[in-house]
Every structure is written in C-alpha cells, then in structure tokens.
Structure 1
Amino acid sequence: MECAAKGARTRCLGPPVRRCARCGVVAYCSLSHQIAHWSDHKQECERLEQQMRNADMVNKFPFTFSEEATVRICEKQETRCLFLERWGLHQVGMWSYECSCGPLNISLNLSGLLMYWNLSSTFAPCTEPASPLSKQLSCWKEYYEWRSIPLDSPAAVVLQWPLTIYYALQLNATKGRNDQGNKVINIHYLGPDKELNQLASFGELLALLPQCNVHIELIGPAVPERRDGQRIELDRCAHCDDKDCKCKLTSERHSSKVTLQLHRGYYHDWFGDIVKDSCPHLIIAPNAGIAAYPSWKETIVCLAQLNLYTLFETAVTRNAQTFKIHSYSG
C-alpha cells in the first residue's frame, strides 16, 4: 500500500503506517500528509467507512473462494503450499501462482495458454454440463452440484474469476446485444494479475452463459509486453488429465465462444480506443486495491463517463483482519 497523498505535494517521509481513523482504508506516511490530503479524501471517507461497517456482509459475496475446498487453510490446519501439494498441484501449470512459492513477477513466466486442469475429470469441469442451468447460481455448493463435482475439489480456487463475472452479470441483469442468434456481452476486466496464468478457466463461461459470445478486454500493467495485443478464443473448457475423457474430442467445442483480448497498461490510457471498439456491458476489477494505488484516480474518472455498473474487489486490512470488499456501483 502506498501513502494516499504520495506525489501530491511533498515527498513521503516513510511507509504508510498511519491509517484514517474514520474509514480505516487509506493510509499515510505522516500526519502532515494526512492533513494535506483530507480535502481530497473527505469526499470518499464516508462511503469507505460504510463499506467497512458492512464488511461482514460483503465478505459473503459468492464465488470469491470456496470454504469447502480450502477449509483446512481457513482453519490454519495447513498452508496453501501443503494444500496444493496434497492435490499434486504445487507449482504445476495454472496453479503455479496460488502460493507464495510462485514467481514474484507474474509476467516473467507467461509463454502461452495453459489448457489443463491437472486434475482428473472427477474434480474438474472439463466437459459440457449434464443439464442446462435451471436457476441462477448463488453459491459454490449449487455450482458444484450442477457440475457434478465434489465439494472438496480445489477447482474453485481458479474458478473464482469466471464465476465472479457470471454473478456480476446476473446482478446487473446484463442484456447484451444479438449477433447471428448469439447474445454478445462485452466485459472490461481491469488489473488482471495471476489470472493471466489461468485464462483457460474463463472457458467455464461457455457453460455458464450458453448461446453467448463473451468478449473480455483484459487491461493492466501485469500483462507481459510480448502478449500485449494477444487475442485468445476459447471454444471449449480446460482439459482434465484423463486420457480417454471426451473433453479431448472436437465435438466438445461450443458454437459460442469466449474471446480474451490482452492489453498492457492502464485502463485510462486505453480508454478511448477500447470503448470505441468494445463498449462494455460490465466493468470488473477483481484485484483493484483502489486505496493503495493512486493510478486508479484517472481510471475512475473514465469510468464515471460510462455510467455503467462496475465491480471492484480489493483486499483491505483493518484491525489484523483481511476483508474482501466488493463495491458495486453505477
């Protein structure tokens, strides 16, 4: 986290250890910087305070993580590394960044799309669902039952990205537009990080949103230079490890598709071109850290011009507890 007043007037005097006593979200390096920044922060302080007051409620936003899959981690009975080792996933494929042993720089180890779950078909959603969705999913248990996966499967750790998109679209009652029989949904995904190594998991949107062509623009500084501008089309789910599973058959390709377009940089730098080519139905920022990064200020100005629903998700530490705060605003 950076001092909220960094770069505003004078140089920071040290680490941002002084938090706003009212909201507890933003931090400062000194009392002088806190006082100097109050004229800017006071407009947001009340809203942030309300978010923190409702932290227990927003922490229950579904599809952030699965307690069933990671109960031993939640209860501190095992580390995340041991959890992954137990499943044979430690430092493997798209699971490489799910523990502190992963490379420090996400962009250093991204050579292409990793299409394997590294799990058997029993624990991975690798084929089309047995039946279409009959109701809106509201929790991991419902999702796992629909996909016929046991609740202790670790798949939820990676599936949080597409499932959060799915749930946000349901909240927004996104209509999309029609194109040759399929609904087209444009999503702007801001600040992708470790999910850049897990893009195959976005193929689950094919099952969650049938007869939809989902176009996702992923924009952020973590996108490697060599992948800037890369376009990825997903027409099937990620594969399991079973050699004879039908997920390997070409018949498992969907008529609809999920398209991922990668852009390196900040959203406000790409804003004009991306909005012109792909006007969004939803904007999502699952790794936002708005209070920690002043670079969000220019992006928020751009978002205000669109008057669209935007889902921000950011980890904020307060009183030795970590909350997932979801700001869903228009």
Structure 2
Amino acid sequence: MECAAKGSPRRCSGPANRRCGGCGAVFYCSVSHQTSHWRVHKEECGRLKQQMCRVVLLNDFPFTFSREATYQVCGKVETRCSFLDKQGIHCVGFWICECSCGASITSSDHLRYDKGWNLSSKLCPCKGPLSMLTKKLSSWNEYYEWRGIPLDSPVALLLHWPLTIYKAIQLAYVKQLIPETTDELCIHYLGPEREVYQLAVFGELHALLPGVRVHIDFVGPAIPHDRDGETITLCSYAHCIESNCSCKSVKGEFNSHTASDKSSSITINLHSGLYHNRYSDLTKVDSESKSNPVPPFWEFIPDLIIAPNAGIAAYKSWLPTIELIREIEIPTIFSDYCEEACHLAANCISSVTGSPPTIPVQLNPFRQPLAVEDTALILPCYSNCFLFGI
C-alpha cells in the first residue's frame, strides 16, 4: 500500500502502515505525512468512509469461489495468478491477460485470435441458450441460472465485458436515451485493452441481444497499429475444450476481414488512436455508400458510447473526448474500478459539460468477480465495478 502523501516535498520515511482513523481507506508512512496531507484528505475522508461501509456489498458474489477471489485477493492471501491456477485457467487461451504475469504477453501474435474457454461444456456458454430471455437480467445469479452454468464456473471473469455492454444498454433504455425496440445497434467502445485479446467472449451478445444486428467500434491507443481497420465477424459463441461438443459444428469462432459481412449479427471493428481524433473517420459515409439505399449501418452516428474502466480523472486525454461527446450529444455510459474513481470522473465531466451525469453512479451487478491487486486505496476494486452516464 502506498503512502497517500507520496509525491509531497518531504520523502516517505518508510512503509505506509499508518491507517487513517477516519475513513480507514488510506495509509501513511508517518505522522508528519498524515498531518501535512490532511488539508487534501479532509475533503474526501467522509466520502471514503461512506464507501468503506459498502465493502460487504461490493464483495457480494454468488460464486463458490467468491471469498478467494475477493477478500483473499484483497488481503494478499491469494493472488490473481494463484486463483486462476486453482481454476485451471492460468496463462491459457484468452485467460492469459487476466494476471500480472501475463500482462506483457498481450502483444504476442499467438494472442491475435483467442482459442476458446479452455473449460468443459458444462462450465461455459459455448452454445446458444435453451430459452429466450423473459425478463431483464439483474445479477450474475440470474445469468448463470438462465445459461445453465454452475456457480463454480469462472466464466464471469470474462463475461463481465459483454454483460456490462448489456447493462449499459438497459440503462440507456430506462432513461429513454435509445429506443428499446430496434434491430440494429451501433456502439462506440472506448479505450479497450485486454478485450482486444478476448474477442470471442463478445459472441455472448448473440444470446443477450437476440435478433439485433450489433456493430461495435473498438477505439483506443492500446489497439495495435497493425490491426487498425480490422473487422471481426463473430459467428458463434466461444468454444469449450471438448472436441466432440456440438459447439464445434459451427465453423470457426470468428473471421477476420476488411469488408463488411451483413449476414452476421455481431461485428467488431478495430481503430487505433484516441476517440476525438478518430471520430470523423468512424462516422463518415463515402460517396459509394451515399448512392446505396441501405449503407452499412456502422458508418452512421453511434446509438451509444461505452467507455469501460475509463479513468477519466487520471488522463488529460479525456478532456477533448468529453468535449466531443457534449458536442455530438450521444448517450455515453462509463465504468470504473471503484466508486471514488467515478466520483472524481463525474466532477471532471461536470466541469466540462456544466451539468452532473444524467445516470448517477451505481454498482454494476455484472462487475468482474475478481479483485484488482495493489490498488491505491484499501477499497476493493473490480473491473467494470461502477457505472454512470451522460
């Protein structure tokens, strides 16, 4: 744990083992650092104390492995690597991006196309659902029950990506920001990182959004330049490890090409760079498309913008993007790792737009159920943990 006053003129005198008695969320290396930092910390201390009161709710997951993945990882009894190893999925397939020791491998060519779940068919959604959704999903428990997956399956560790998209769409529906009845949906997805190497999991949108043609433009500086402009067509669900499973009857998990494939309901297009620099490229319609009565729908203005784990307060590059979003007036859903990050982000957005978020900060029921290691605060952090929108 880092000293909350790290970076101040006076250097840290040792390990940060002195905890704030007010909020219990930050630590200091010495009394002098704690005293000098109070003029900064006093503005957030009460807020962090309230957030600390919600830790039990934050760590509340229905899985058989929940305590290991939450309290034990936060308490350093377990690491993400050791947890994944116990599940038999450490550094295999698209799970390789989920731990610190695999983070440096994400640029390797063998990760260009992920190979599937590396789990048995009983533990993963490798085929379509047995029944259509009759109600809106509101928890991991409901999702697992609907898909017939046992609660000892770790697939939620990756499915939080498509389920967060599903939740963001539901929030936009409730606020009447987008029409609830549509057969086409265009999403601009900002700042993807490990998702680029876990593309097959987005095939679950076939089940979550049946009958809807979905196109997602992934836009961000973490996308390799050699993949800029690449289009991925998701033809089926990510496959299980069993060679004789019926999921193998669908040829391939996805195809890569540069031309559009209108027969597919899920396509992902990759764009390298910052959103405010690439927006005009994403939305322009060339002269040939204008002469076509039904041009590809993803060349239109997006229906929704989604920015997962945005970190708005931490990166100045977000300011021109927020300005752009204000100008184009496209509904946007953000997520972040903890409530405090969302609070700071909301303040940044308000300073640019002049108004608070239209969708208040709220806990995402489909947050990743594996804690982030070595966070700046003692607060538990999870990928896609909280949501809010403008």
1:220·1:265 contact (CA, 8 Å) conserved in 2?
yes
Distance 1:65 1:95, change over 3 A: farther
How much identity, in percent, do the aligned residues show? 43
More strand by share: 1
1:203·1:236 contact (CA, 8 Å) conserved in 2?
yes
What is the correspondence of 1:58-207 to structure 2 with a 5 Å cutoff?
A: 68-76=64-72, 77-104=77-104, 106-109=106-109, 111-173=111-173, 174-175=178-179, 183-207=183-207
Distance in structure 2 (CA, Å) of the matches to 1:165 and 1:293: 23
Match of 1:315 in 2: 337
1:302 aligns with 2:324: yes
Distance 1:322 1:86, change over 3 A: closer
Residues 214-234 of structure 1, C-alpha deviation per residue, up to 9 Å, x if partnerless? 100000111011111110000
Partner of 1:153: helix, strand, or coil? Answer: coil
Give the partner amino acid of 2:168.
A
Q: TM-score, normalised by structure 2?
A: 0.65
Match of 1:224 in 2: 224
Query: Displacement, 1:69?
Result: 4.5
Distance in structure 1 (CA, Å) of the matches to 2:242 and 2:269: 30
Query: Displacement, 1:75?
Result: 2.3
Distance in structure 2 (CA, Å) of the matches to 1:51 and 1:214: 39
Query: Displacement, 1:291?
Result: 1.1
More helix by share: 2
Q: Compare 101-110 and 79-88 and name the one that shifted more.
A: 101-110
Residues 196-237 of structure 1, C-alpha deviation per residue, up to 9 Å, x if partnerless? 111100000001111011100000111011111110000200
Residues 37-62 of structure 1, C-alpha deviation per residue, up to 9 Å, x if partnerless? xxxxxxxx99xx98996787799699
2:63·2:151 contact (CA, 8 Å) conserved in 1?
no
What is the correspondence of 1:240-319 to structure 2 with a 5 Å cutoff?
A: 240-250=240-250, 256-276=264-284, 277-316=299-338, 319=377
Alignment length (residue pairs): 294
Query: Displacement, 1:82?
Result: 1.7
Query: Displacement, 1:270?
Result: 0.5
Distance in structure 2 (CA, Å) of the matches to 1:58 and 1:296: 29
Match of 1:30 in 2: none
Distance in structure 2 (CA, Å) of the matches to 1:139 and 1:305: 34
Match of 1:326 in 2: 386
What is the correspondence of 1:33-72 to structure 2 with a 5 Å cutoff?
A: 68-72=64-68
Distance 1:166 1:296, change over 3 A: same
Partner of 1:300: helix, strand, or coil? Answer: helix
Partner of 1:107: helix, strand, or coil? Answer: coil
Query: Displacement, 1:138?
Result: 0.3
Give the partner amino acid of 2:314.
A
Query: Displacement, 1:100?
Result: 1.1
1:185·1:213 contact (CA, 8 Å) conserved in 2?
yes
Query: Displacement, 1:106?
Result: 3.3
Distance 1:228 1:256, change over 3 A: closer
RMSD of aligned Cα (Å):
3.8
Query: Displacement, 1:252?
Result: 10
Unaligned runs of 5+ in 1: 1-11, 16-23, 25-44
1:220·1:263 contact (CA, 8 Å) conserved in 2?
yes
Distance in structure 1 (CA, Å) of the matches to 2:56 and 2:216: 25
Distance in structure 2 (CA, Å) of the matches to 1:90 and 1:208: 27
1:211·1:256 contact (CA, 8 Å) conserved in 2?
no
1:65·1:160 contact (CA, 8 Å) conserved in 2?
no
Query: Displacement, 1:257?
Result: 1.9
The structure having more radius of gyration, on CA atoms, is 2
Q: Compare 49-58 and 157-166 and name the one that shifted more.
A: 49-58
Partner of 1:122: helix, strand, or coil? Answer: helix
Query: Displacement, 1:129?
Result: 0.4
Give the partner amino acid of 2:191.
G
Q: TM-score, normalised by structure 1?
A: 0.76
Distance 1:65 1:289, change over 3 A: farther
Give the partner amino acid of 2:319.
K
Partner of 2:85: helix, strand, or coil? Answer: helix
Unaligned runs of 5+ in 2: 1-7, 12-24, 26-42, 255-262, 285-298, 339-374
